[in-house]
Every structure is written in structure tokens, then in C-alpha cells.
Chain A
């Protein structure tokens, strides 16, 4: 059963088309990654699905409830973590969670108990009675996520949950999200980080300029790029010809040389690296470094849109 279903979502701001017919579907208990650069329409999609914004066209149901007609009931079934850590800095961590719990309709005692559980689980017990204004970025994000989980919502929306976090905090947040999913929660996660989508999402939709431009599992999207990539740093660039010749039998596309690195597209197969090294050695080519790269989602983005995700993000920021 689909926990999140959207068909033809449209949203316009004056002349700007933020969403141009977005279709989404996430099965219950799965993680849907929505991947795209800044300004692609990810946040607008989340706002519509969490009842914050009315779509100009199309329809969506979350947990079987229509996001427009059943908005009031739906709010009790979802948790939202936005791009900013939306917690009150002038309250303590515990006060924040109790406030949100009570606004979800829990009684005082139940809200307090739930706050305690969540603070414990998110390793914030020691900081429970400190003002959130004194928390580090990672602690705020954890509290923000805890706030979204107060009512044990069956569907969780995470809008760029790790933007601006240090690597350690990111990994710890990923583990928390994975634990929620293991407990049966459906998650929609937006991100501009390709590794984040790969790690967490069962299925990924790629959005650019308000449209879904690709959809599939991480592996399916990678297949679109085709093949793995050998990267060889030669000791002597005079040997480029010899190296290309030695690897000709492995290559599935013409080799390229860029910034002193020879790139050879190869079919995905076991033992490619060893074979390549043997052939180069037999041809007497001196190799400084040799590595095999699986395509990343950045490669996918480049293939799909003709520009890299980072470039698109930079464009979007210039437009803004």
C-alpha cells in the first residue's frame, strides 16, 4: 500500500513555476529519496504534502488522507523536520518536546514521559534542561527530529535533514532515520547529497526545475550511466598511447585523458582491476595510481540533465 501518493502536483508563484506536474509514490515502510539541486522544487513538494501549502493543480494523499480536504486530520499522522532546526531556542530541550507533545494532543504527564524517552534515545538527556540556544548544530537537528517523532507519526517528512551538519553528526542522524524505518515508519527525504539518497532511500526520484526527470532505485539510476570507470594516473604521460592500447580489450568506450588522468569506461565485472593492472604491467607501463569507480548519483545527474548537481545548485542560488 502506498503511504504517500501524489499525481500531477503543480505550484506556481506568479510567473515562476515551482512544480510542473510532480508524481510521487512511496510504499508503506519505505524511504523515498527526493533528490535535486536547490530550487528544484523539493521543499515546495514537502510543503504541499505536509498541508503547509495548497497545490495549484494535481492531488496527493498521505496515509490515505487527502492533503487538502483532510488536512486537519492528516496533521496528526505526520512528522515534519524542515531545513532549519525548527525548535524554540528560548526553551529547554525538554520544554520544547513537552510543548510539541501537548500540541499533538498528549496530556501533560504523557507528554513529559514521551519527552524523556526521546531525549534519552537522541542522547540529549544530559542537555534536557539546558536552553536550546546553547545547543550545537547537531544537537538541534537531533532535537528537531525528536520533535517530529513525538506523536509516533506513521509518515515522516525530512526536508534536507543533514544540510550543514558535520560528517559525524550526519552519520549519527542517518542511523537514527534507519532505526525509524526499521520500526515501520514511511519516510520521504529530500536531499541534495547524492550519497545520502543512496544510503537511505529505497527509491529515488530526481527533480529538476519542478519536474521528475528520473525515478528508480539507486542501482537502476546508475545503470543509466552505464559501466564502471577505471582511472589511471601514469608515471610518464608519454606512455598514454601504450596504456590505451593495453586496455583496449577491456574498454567499452573510447578512453579519455583529462588533468593527467586516463579514464577508461569498462563493463561492470569482477576482477577488472587485477586484469587491468596485469595488462599494464605486461606492456611495461609505469602506474602511479589505479582505481575503479562505480558511477555516483552525480554522474547520473550529469547524464540526465547535462549539468552536474553542484552546478545546478550554484545556478539556482544565482537566480535567487
Chain B
């Protein structure tokens, strides 16, 4: 059996295909990833983007549409996936996928392009407690991306630059727009780019940390979402949370899509 999860994020569309495994002598290995695909949609119609992402994903994975028995959608645009059999929130999908990737994790930190959230999950990947921020974009990846642009750095350079700074410059503005003004002021006062980058990532981490503290830290912590690829943010988050280790999964952007595919396999949604 093959199931699919499709994560209609605010920036990208991710698809994961999950295949039932029958490994002799290893009954615990029930599911394996058959294929994955990420797409940056170039049109506003999310349903068209979903169709294209699924078609491209199927082609890449070398499977046909008929082989996929069940599809579950998640993410901000989950309701617009016409071909999905069911949809689940990104909170449930993220928790299910994260616990599958790291079974010892109970605290899931999900930082995507437009939203960040803290989730507490049980051993089965079921949500116990969650908190997001419905209003503020400053605790999410798009804010870091916008600040990187202001500093004329790529996201990779931005993350690496922050690691070279040992200064702590507080960013007082809570709002993305005002925070950008603060960054511009720092640029004009000839503050090194490294220090500004660290200040921005510390600010994002501090906002994410507030949501995580709201649900409380239990068990291992796992970070999912695109910001896993930013080593500066990972370092800032560790400091904010006051912990030495954060689990960073392979294919972090796909964890919610993986969770949706697992929920499709469970037949739950």
C-alpha cells in the first residue's frame, strides 16, 4: 500500500509518498518513504499547484496515481486540495511526523515560512498541548529571510554569519515591520553584519521560545520546518530554550507532509 501526504505551506508545496514495508525479521519497520517532492508554486491557485506537485512527485517517485490508496492534505492551504481524501491541521501532521522521525521527542518546535509553533506530543505522535502565534510573523522564517535580504546576504550566508558573532544586541520591536527599521538603524550605525544576523535570529528564537514555554518542555526536543537548515537559528534556539541538544531530522521541510501520509496510513482522518 502507498499513501501520500501533501503539505500546502505558505511558501512551498511538499509531497511525501509512504510505502508499507514487509521486512522479514523487522516487523517494527512498517512504513518507508517511497518518494518526496517540493515545489515553489508559481501561480495563486493553490488547487492547481497541488495538482502539479502531486503529478511531479508521482513522476519522480516512479509510481502511478492508481497505486496511491489514500491522500491526506495539511498546511495553510489544506482545504484547497481537491483530490485529498481528508485534511488535518499542520499541528497534528507535524507532531505525527516528528515523533515518527524521532520517537524519543515529546516537544516539537515547528518553524516554517509564515508560522512558528510549539507542540507537546505523546509517544504515538498525538498532540497533547499546542500553542502558536496567530498574529506575529516575527517568530517565523519569512522574517529571517526578509532581514537577510536587507543585509544583502543569502539565507545560508545569513545563518553562517550569525555563528561568527558572540555579541547579544536585543531587538526590541515585536513587529516585523518595526524590527526591519531597527535592522536598518543598525546597518547605518555600522554594526557588523554578523552581529545584526545574530540579533535577528536571537529575536526569532525568543519569540518561538515563548510559544514552546507555553506548552512546556518534556522529553527530547525536535525542530522541524525550513528553519532547521539555518545553523544560526538552531544555535539561538538552543540558547533561548536553555538546552544543549535539539534533534534535527533529515528532510525537515517534509516532516508535516510525512505526518499527513502517516495519518493517511493510519486511516484516522
Q: Do A and B bind each other?
A: no
Chain B interface residues (CB < 8 Å from chain A)? none
Chain A interface residues (CB < 8 Å from chain B)? none
